[in-house]
Amino acid sequence: MHRYNDAVGKYFLHPPLEAGSDLRGEAGSLAQGVWVCVSADVQDGILRNAGFRAFACPHIIAACNRVMEHLEGRPAGALCEVEPEVLQTQFDIPVEKAGKLLILKDALLACYADYQAGGERLSAS
Amino acid sequence: MLVTAEVIYLDYAATSPVDPRVREQMNRWLDNRDGFGNPSSAHSVGTRAADAVERAAAEVAELVNAKPSEIVWTSGATESDNLAVIGAAQFRRIRGQHIVTVATEHKAVLESCAFLETRGFEVTLLQPDESGLVSSGKIAAALRPDTVLVSVMHANNEIGVVQDIGAIGKLCRQHDVLFHVDAAQSAGKLPIDIRAQQIDLLSLNAHKACGPQGIGVLVLDTDRIRRVEPRMFGGGQQRGLRPGTLPVHQIVGMGATMKLLTDGMDAEVRQLTALRDHLWAGIRDLPGVVMNGHPDHRLCSILNVSVDGVEGESLRFALSDLAVASGSACNSLNGEPSYVLRSLGRTDRQAEASIRFSVGRFSTEAEADQAVRSFVAAVEFLQSLSPVRIAG
């Protein structure tokens, strides 16, 4: 069994279960063993109520939770700026799990793509 | 109640705490009150140790209806399995080089068989049905004129499924094929009678039954097989079958362990069955929770469940207040999903998200209640977080 640092313990529990619904992006699958769905509201280009659902190991769930905390109140472009290497360091994620972080990154990018695709709609509302 | 550093221990199938009564018997040899000699020594100090070994052998033998002279002391069930499978097959290789076993056997048997394959043997690996059972008919169909050994464990260490050892023993005897049974999990929880069940070689250990680690036996029905080819050499102890100075305190501990099982089996089985069923009653209604193994033909002490929609590692992490085994219990070093559960048709995801609860002599209802609360909370949390839709 992996050992986990304190940050994993802190962020694994109590993730935001109520998330916004303006934007949505997902990556991975059950078959891959990692599946991350990110969603958020956006108001005037600012992210609100960022949340996620995940079928993933404790490291990735904790990383998801930390990312959602980071995104709250930031411009939508922040979805593209999350660096897996920083998360890997913060949560002491073993190198063999680095690929799982890329799935989180892909989900965030998909969420940003949704923002771009729906830009006019969101602006109109 | 056994709570260590806020962790509730429900992993008796992995190992168990030593019963204080056993510990006392062992201590008498560790602090020299009863002696300290080498049982092979001819002087009185050695003779005293030899007498203790003989008494322990009688205690082990009584549990399984063997003779004390049929007990071969080993370091545990893994060594016993190695000695039984490799030793018996090699000893009888002139009669044939075919072995029959089951895909869900312990690795101590499977890897012994794999070793024999490198020495020219053929191994037929039978797949159990989806509940983990292997019928004697399936074994009969696998027997060949050159089959020398059948090895089937009594109760599976991961799912607790109990095989019909008596029927398989009868079949093997009819075909004059040696029959080996790994009873590491079942000793003291199920009746074992090597003569009635026609078991030729039986592996036992002490530490799954509140005895010490590092000691086991191979029981040989000497009416059927007087020797196996040894795996260790030097010293000539135990008729050369397993040489080396006998560890008297360990042996005394195993004898005391088996004596407690003989004397208290009925009551302990009732206690363990009640705890196991209590655990199942507390979690069975959770969506996506399924029992692994046969609902009836299973050990009184083991409950193995899979949980749909949650990731295995996160499930284990969320259950960090419980010392329970996971679907990768026997493979924790490589993280692979359980080969036993996969043999039953479980997917990798289901195998990974499986938990084995195993109760023992010192387990309590309060611990079972806490385990249920922890398990329910963990599953509900992870399922609420999961994008996977859970049926039911």
The answer, yes or no, to whether residue B256 has pLDDT greater than 80, is yes
Q: pLDDT at position B3, please?
A: 44
Please, which residues have CB within 8 angstroms of residue B5's CB and are 6 or more apart in sequence?
A: none
Q: Which whole number is the average pLDDT over B256-260?
A: 98
Asked whether the beta carbons of B326 and B316 are under 8 A apart, the reply is yes
Contacts of A56 in chain B (CB under 8 A): 311, 314
DSSP B250-308: HHHHHHHHHHHHHHHHHHHHHHHHHHHHHHHHHHTTSTTEEE-S-SSSB-TTEEEEEET
Residue pairs spanning A and B at CB distance below 8 A: 47
Measured distance CA(B35)–CA(B43) in Å, rounded? 13
* Interchain contact, B388 vs A55, CB within 8 Å: yes
Average pLDDT score, chain B:
95
What are the boundaries of each domain within chain B? Answer: 3-17+265-385, 20-261
Assess B347–A contact: CB distance below 8 Å, yes or no.
Answer: no
The answer, yes or no, to whether residue B231 has pLDDT greater than 90, is yes
The answer, yes or no, to whether residue A123 has pLDDT greater than 60, is no
Q: pLDDT at position A13, please?
A: 85
* Interchain contact, A55 vs B310, CB within 8 Å: yes
Mind listing the pLDDT tens digit for each residue in A10-25? Answer: 999 878 767 889 999 9
The answer, yes or no, to whether residue B237 has pLDDT greater than 60, is yes
Q: Which two tokens stand for residue B75?
A: 């370091």
Q: Which whole number is the average pLDDT over B358-381?
A: 97
- Binned at pLDDT 50, 70 and 90, residue B335 comes out as low
- Binned at pLDDT 50, 70 and 90, residue B10 comes out as very high
State how far the alpha carbon of A61 is from the alpha carbons of A58, B15, B208, B352, B379, in Å.
5, 32, 36, 17, 15
What is the chain B residue with the closest CA to A27? Answer: B387
Q: Give 3-state DSSP helix, strand, coil % of chain B, rounded to 5.
A: 40, 15, 40
Measured distance CA(A9)–CA(A7) in Å, rounded? 5
Assess B130–A contact: CB distance below 8 Å, yes or no.
Answer: no
* Interchain contact, B386 vs A4, CB within 8 Å: no
Assess B384–A contact: CB distance below 8 Å, yes or no.
Answer: yes
What is the chain A residue with the closest CA to B335? Answer: A1
**Looking at the partner chain, which of A4, A12, A55 has a beta carbon nearest the beta carbon of B386?**
A55
Q: pLDDT at position B327, please?
A: 73
Assess A110–B contact: CB distance below 8 Å, yes or no.
Answer: no
- Binned at pLDDT 50, 70 and 90, residue A121 comes out as low
Asked whether the beta carbons of B60 and B209 are under 8 A apart, the reply is no
The answer, yes or no, to whether residue B243 has pLDDT greater than 60, is yes
The residue behind tokens 């640092």 is: A5
What is the chain A residue with the closest CA to B332? Answer: A1
Asked whether the beta carbons of B248 and B29 are under 8 A apart, the reply is yes
Contacts of A54 in chain B (CB under 8 A): 385-387
Asked whether the beta carbons of B179 and B198 are under 8 A apart, the reply is yes
Q: Considering chain A, what percentage of its residues have pLDDT values greater than 70?
A: 92
* Interchain contact, A17 vs B384, CB within 8 Å: yes
Mind listing the pLDDT tens digit for each residue in B264-311? Answer: 999 999 999 999 999 999 999 999 999 999 999 999 999 999 999 999
Contacts of B387 in chain A (CB under 8 A): 26, 35-37, 53-55
Mind listing the pLDDT tens digit for each residue in A32-42? Answer: 999 999 999 99
- For residue A53, give how far its alpha carbon lies from the nearest alpha carbon of chain B (Å): 5
Q: Look at B223 and B334; give whichever has higher pLDDT.
A: B223
What is the chain A residue with the closest CA to B312? Answer: A57
- For residue A74, give how far its alpha carbon lies from the nearest alpha carbon of chain B (Å): 24
For residue B358, what are the β-bridge partners? B11, B302
* Interchain contact, A33 vs B332, CB within 8 Å: no
What is the chain B residue with the closest CA to A56? Answer: B311
Assess A15–B contact: CB distance below 8 Å, yes or no.
Answer: yes
Q: pLDDT at position A54, please?
A: 96
Class level of CATH domain B20-261:
alpha beta
Q: pLDDT at position B1, please?
A: 45
Q: Which two tokens stand for residue B240?
A: 């050369």
Assess A1–B contact: CB distance below 8 Å, yes or no.
Answer: yes
The answer, yes or no, to whether residue B181 has pLDDT greater than 60, is yes
Instruction: Judge whether B210 counts as a catalytic residue.
Output: no
The answer, yes or no, to whether residue B124 has pLDDT greater than 60, is yes
Mind listing the pLDDT tens digit for each residue in B343-356? Answer: 999 999 999 999 99
Q: Which of B245, B200, B206 is nearest to B219 (CA)?
A: B200
Q: pLDDT at position A1, please?
A: 55
Q: Which long-range contacts (CB under 8 A, 24 or more apart) does B91-96 make?
A: B91/B225, B91/B227, B91/B228, B91/B229, B92/B148, B92/B149, B92/B178, B93/B121, B93/B148, B95/B146, B95/B148, B96/B144, B96/B145, B96/B146, B96/B147, B96/B148
Q: pLDDT at position B92, please?
A: 95
Q: Which whole number is the average pLDDT over B127-132?
A: 96
Q: Which whole number is the average pLDDT over B238-261?
A: 96
Q: Considering chain B, what percentage of its residues have pLDDT values greater than 90?
A: 93
Q: pLDDT at position A14, please?
A: 78
* Interchain contact, A12 vs B317, CB within 8 Å: yes
Q: pLDDT at position A119, please?
A: 58
Class level of CATH domain A6-114:
alpha beta
Q: What is the CATH number of domain B3-17+265-385?
A: 3.90.1150.10
- For residue B293, give how far its alpha carbon lies from the nearest alpha carbon of chain A (Å): 24
List A residues 20-79 in contact with B (Cβ-Cβ < 8 A): 26, 30, 33-37, 53-58, 61
Mind listing the pLDDT tens digit for each residue in A64-96? Answer: 999 999 999 999 999 999 999 999 999 999 999
Contacts of B381 in chain A (CB under 8 A): 13
Mind listing the pLDDT tens digit for each residue in B323-334? Answer: 999 875 444 455
Mind listing the pLDDT tens digit for each residue in B55-108? Answer: 999 999 999 999 999 999 999 999 999 999 999 999 999 999 999 999 999 999
Q: pLDDT at position A9, please?
A: 93
List B residues 278-317 in contact with A (Cβ-Cβ < 8 A): 309-311, 313-314, 316-317
* Interchain contact, A55 vs B311, CB within 8 Å: yes
- For residue A67, give how far its alpha carbon lies from the nearest alpha carbon of chain B (Å): 16
Q: In what order do the strands lie in the sheet with A34-43?
A: A23-29, A34-43, A46-55
- Burial (CB count within 10 angstroms: exposed 0-12, middle 13-18, buried 19+), residue B68: middle
Residue A104 sits at φ, ψ, to 5 deg, of: -60, -45
* Interchain contact, A57 vs B313, CB within 8 Å: yes
Q: Which whole number is the average pLDDT over B37-54?
A: 96
State how far the alpha carbon of B296 is from the alpha carbons of B57, B130, B132, B157, B159, in Å.
33, 14, 12, 16, 12
Contacts of A36 in chain B (CB under 8 A): 387
Measured distance CA(B7)–CA(B13) in Å, rounded? 16
Measured distance CA(B157)–CA(B14) in Å, rounded? 8
Assess B385–A contact: CB distance below 8 Å, yes or no.
Answer: yes
Please, which residues have CB within 8 angstroms of residue B144's CB and are 6 or more apart in sequence?
A: B96, B98
Residue type, B240: G
* Interchain contact, B314 vs A53, CB within 8 Å: no
